[in-house]
Amino acid sequence: MKKYTYQITGLDCANCAKRIEDALNKQADFKNVVVNFSTSKITYETNLDNSLQLVNKIVKDLEPGAKLIYQENTKSEYHLWIIILALMSFIIGNFNFPLSEIFILIAYIILLFKPLEKAILLLIKSKTINENFLIVISCLGAYFLESKMEGVMVVTLYLIGKILEERALNTTRQSIKDLLTLKQDYANLKKRDKLEKIAVEEIKINDILIVKKGEKVPVDGIIMDGNAYLNTSSITGESAIKEANVGDLVYSGYLNTGDIFSLKATKTYENSMINKILELVETASNRKAKTETTVSKLSRYYTPVILVLAILTYLLLPLLFKVSYHDSLYRALTFLVVACPCAIAISVPLAYFVGLGVSSKNGILIKGSNYLDNMSHLNKIIFDKTGTLTTGNLEVKNLEILTKDFTKQELIDIIFAGEILSNHPIAKSITKLKKTKDRALPVQDFQEVEGKGITYKCLNHKIKIGNQNLCGCNEIADLHVNIDNKHVATIIFQDEIKENAKEVIQMLKKQNIKTYLFTGDKKDKALELAKKLDIDEIYYEMLPTDKYAMYEKQEKEKDIIAYLGDGVNDAPVLKRASIGISMGTIGSDSAISVSDIVIMNDNLDSILTSIKISKTTNQLIKENLIFALGVKIIILILSLFGLTNMWIAVLADTGVTVLTILNTLRIKIK
């Protein structure tokens, strides 16, 4: 099935988006439909060649004002000048002259036109009602009860609230869209002595590209000539300038602040770092947290229930108390106004949306609000070792050659030929053994064996480089080199603990989060590291299958466990974990693709930052829900006893909505 993404306009609420999403998912021709109210986007998969027309028909039947378009629509449905025009007409109508009532009617028509249109179309096409219907009934009721001023102010404040909601949503949407400017639209392709400007999508692996000062790196690649000074803030969230030299790998999205340099593309744009980030950012809001899903489901029943309660209020008050039907109707209309669900329906998804945006700006890509939500409930975290708790900048401490069949340089050339094809941090360290920049020897049948090492053929030799299980060796070493089933060399590495690793572990413990170490390292190295960092439980000499099995043993009911890793061997556990967290810069493609959170700056502090953002987001959601429901319940009770009026009701409704939105926008963490 082919995947399609369109802008969707005219959505009034998260409930409207949910209704469209559910209806399309029930269609046999459509799969994985997601309607994202926060980003105003719809994505779906289908085999139909011309699906847009059919989807638009289904959408319009459910939500008459909604429409799918190719380009983003920045036009507002609500305009302040229309409200001002209506109020001027109403003011004129309040002067007593023969045609004054006409001006009042014109004011009502202007103000109610958009809500009435939406309410009628929705009622006819989908047999449902929403807050537009409640507002229209309340205003018309106020008019016929001779409370014309209150009726006008109800719809006026409602429309002003809609404008403020729209602007708040657009502000948060823009914070996400700012990230989408990371892409360099073109690349300078070097062809002999000429430069040709091409689209980044046309770049092929091994193309030589020229990156000028002020340009972004178009795709991931290796510097071939020149020294680079790169601003990595767009990817990592950190503003420090990174120096890169010949042979260093740099990522797409980095901004060149120094002199011109040449780059050899190691990936196409589709597989480059920047495209992965853009895909994650654009789809992050599609995976919804439990709170968001619950609020969305309840919203569809909320409005009809409120309408029924308002009718019961009108009918029962005169029977139970000494209240006239005139007063009873007024109280019922007031009940409708204050009960509008805008504040609740908007503030929850908006809070998660803002939280995801703030995380992205801090170099933390979270693939869904459900994972953002879970970070605040974390009670266990499992760390891989190399590249996670340690720098991953391994250095070969000793290369011991055990045979006279090869010279040291010949052996290094053979080792280099295979390791240059691997993305594992250990492989990158081994390749530094080769000092010259000439081409690698040709390799056939290259294969990475998860958790063990690599195998390949080179110069008609069968090569194995890895642990004891792969090479069948008994010597104590970090890696073994086996050529034609003969043990020819051992390699010893040294690695450094990350500067802030111990501090992060201590901070996690203070939050009652239990820490684990899962590593394939030898017992002595694992115990030494765990002791230095004061990790609670240590497991060593583990294969990927061992890590997976041990994870399942640690998982108890209601546990939220994060697994932090970066290698191919971590991928199974990253996918299985409650929250899989990978390192974005040194992490393997497979680890990044299956993880739920990607730390772009490889900084362990980002774990604490993500927990803080999660807790702040959840706290603001609780505040908004308690505040919105509390105010509404109080005003509802007062309206039943005739102790309030429509002015207070509409101020409570619109005011609560605006205040919850403003409260949500406070999620700013750096």
Residues 6 or more apart whose CB falls under 8 angstroms from that of 409 comprise none
Report residue 175: phi and psi, to 5°. Answer: -60, -30
Tell me which H or E stretch contains 538.
strand 537-539
> In a 3-state reduction of DSSP, which class is residue 398?
strand
Closest CA to 33 of 66, 6, 10: 6
| Sign of the CA dihedral with 363 first, then 368, 373, and 378 last | negative
Among the listed residues 12, 207, 220, 384, the single catalytic one is 384
By DSSP bridging, strand 561-565 and strand 579-583 are parallel
How far apart (Å, rounded) are the C-alpha atoms in residues 322 and 218?
Answer: 76
∠ CA 433-437-442, nearest 5°, is 85
Question: What is the amino acid identity at position 350?
Answer: L
Do residues 269 and 252 touch, judged by C-beta distance below 8 A?
yes
Are the C-beta atoms of 365 and 600 separated by less than 8 Å? yes
- Compute the distance between CA of residue 656 and CA of residue 158 in angstroms, rounded to an integer: 11
Using the structure block, give the residue that is written with the tokens 């409260």. 663
CB atoms within 10 A of CB 594: 17
384 is known as an active-site residue:
yes
Give the Å distances, CA to CA, from 33 to 279, 620, 667.
16, 29, 29
**Among candidate residues 450, 521, 455, the one with its CA nearest the CA of residue 492:** 521
For 551, phi then psi, to 5°, come to -60, -45
User: For residue 619, which amino acid is it?
Assistant: Q
DSSP string, 260-286: -EEEEE-S-GGGSHHHHHHHHHHHGGG
> How far apart are alpha carbons 2 and 32 in whole angstroms?
11
> Is-contact 517 385, C-beta < 8 A?
yes
Cα distance between residue 231 and residue 211, in whole Å = 13
- The enclosing H or E element of 302 equals helix 290-320
Q: How far apart, in whole angstroms, are the C-alpha atoms of residue 19 and residue 41? A: 14
Residues with Cβ within 8 Å of residue 342, at least 6 apart in sequence = 13, 131, 161, 165, 653, 654, 657
Which residue type does 233 have? S
Which residues are part of the catalytic machinery? Answer: 384
